[in-house]
Amino acid sequence: MAEITASLVKELRERTGAGMMECKKALTETNGNIDAAAEALRKSGLAKADKKADRVAAEGRVAVAQDGGKAVLVEINSETDFVAKDENFLAFANAVAQAALASGAADIEALKAAKLASGETVEEARAAAISKLGENIQIRRMARVSSNDNVAAYVHGGKIGVLVEVKGGDAELARGLAMHIAAMNPPHNKAADVPAEFVAKEKEIELAKMSEKDKSKPAEILEKIISGKIAKIINEVTLYGQPYVLNSDLSVEATVKAAGADVVGFQRLVVGEGIEKVVEDYAAEVMKQAGLA
């Protein structure tokens, strides 16, 4: 067995663009033959996958897997929505979600090492998917819940995923709340969860917006006016304060309390959230190349 030196691994990595561990494994399997190792990496798609890693992947889907009170969401990104709808991508995304649920992986790195039902790791399957679909594919985020309470996992259009945990009530209520959270995107659960800094800033803004006539009112009257405005804002930014989408005559809080329930918490993932997308202007690019711009 030839010695697999750090310099040999470095050379293969520079030559193929594959990861360090993949390079070391390929060299070990080929007894240190760098040409054979490079060919093996190309065949497996790992070299090609790494070379696409710097391309922006802001499309994709949120995949879900659930088993009773255990549920997981995984955001998996592609470069285009076209690939995100491809049956091979969808199969990969669903397999990853199932692996996330079965393995109990706590983070993305642990998930990459988890095994799929096929026997390959998630990372190996990702590299194969990149090679097959021709786009950068990334496993970006994961959310999970494990509870004895009612747990609902809901994905809307493959783009918005929600996990919600409800103490009391029933499965129908939990699912309805998950749908509400997907639609209305409340930043917080209850009024007590709204940061004091946010409330103080909103009070400052509301006071600045008031007319001089209103500002001259007695302090206790002024405080009531401001408090009323802040209460309305808090309702807008909390799940409990919002009108329930399935029955807008009631707030979520009233709906939950009527069922003798309590929302313990929720998580919401949106595909591409926070990723700066590259906007291609093909017309301008063609004009520039033609010397017309």
Output the 3-class SS for the chain: CCCCCHHHHHHHHHHHCCCHHHHHHHHHHCCCCHHHHHHHHHHHCHHHHHHCCCCCCCEEEEEEEEECCEEEEEEEEECCHHHHCCHHHHHHHHHHHHHHHHHCCCCHHHHHHCECCCCCEHHHHHHHHHHHHCCCCEEEEEEEEECCCEEEEEEECCCEEEEEEEECCCHHHHHHHHHHHHHHCCCECCHHHCCHHHHHHHHHHHHHHCCHHHHCCCHHHHHHHHHHHHHHHHHHCECCCCEECCEEEEEHHHHHHHCCCEEEEEEEEECCCCCCCCCCCHHHHHHHHCCCC
Domain CATH number, residue 12: 1.10.8.10
Has residue 210 been placed in a domain? Answer: no
Strand pairing partners for 161?
155, 269
Query: What residues pair up with 290 in beta bridges, in sequence order?
Result: none
Q: Is the model's pLDDT at 46 over the cut of 60? A: no
Q: Which two tokens stand for residue 160?
A: 């918005």
Q: How confident is the model at residue 17 (pLDDT cuts 50, 70, 90)?
A: low
pLDDT digits (tens, 9 = 90+) for 180-221: 999 999 999 999 999 999 999 998 888 888 777 777 778 788
Burial of 143 (0-12, 13-18, 19+ CB in 10 A): buried
As given in the structure block, the two tokens for residue 75 are 């955001």
CA distances from 34 to 19, 94, 127 (A): 15, 35, 20
Q: Is the pLDDT of residue 44 over 90?
A: no
pLDDT tens digits for 255-274?
999 999 999 999 999 999 98
Which residues form the domain of 43? 6-51
Residue-wise pLDDT tens digits, 177-189: 999 999 999 999 9
23 — pLDDT class (breaks 50, 70, 90): confident
- Chain length of the chain: 293
Tell me the pTM: 0.75
Q: Which residues pair with 65 in a beta bridge?
A: 72
Q: Residue 41 above 60 pLDDT?
A: yes
Judge whether 40 lies within some domain. yes
Strands 160-167 and 262-270, how do they pair?
A: antiparallel
145, part of any domain: no
Beginning with the edge strand found earlier in the chain, give each strand of the sheet holding 59-67 in spatial order: 59-67, 70-78, 138-146
Higher pLDDT, 17 or 108: 108
C-beta separation of 82 from 134 below 8 A: no
Give the count of domains, the chain: 1
For residue 290, name the pLDDT band (cuts at 50, 70, 90): low
Rounded CA gap, 214 and 90, in Å?
58
98: in domain:
no
Name the strands in the sheet holding 150-156, side by side, starting at the edge strand that comes first in the sequence. Answer: 150-156, 160-167, 262-270
In a domain, 44, yes or no: yes
In a domain, residue 10? The reply is yes
Residue 20 lies in a domain: yes
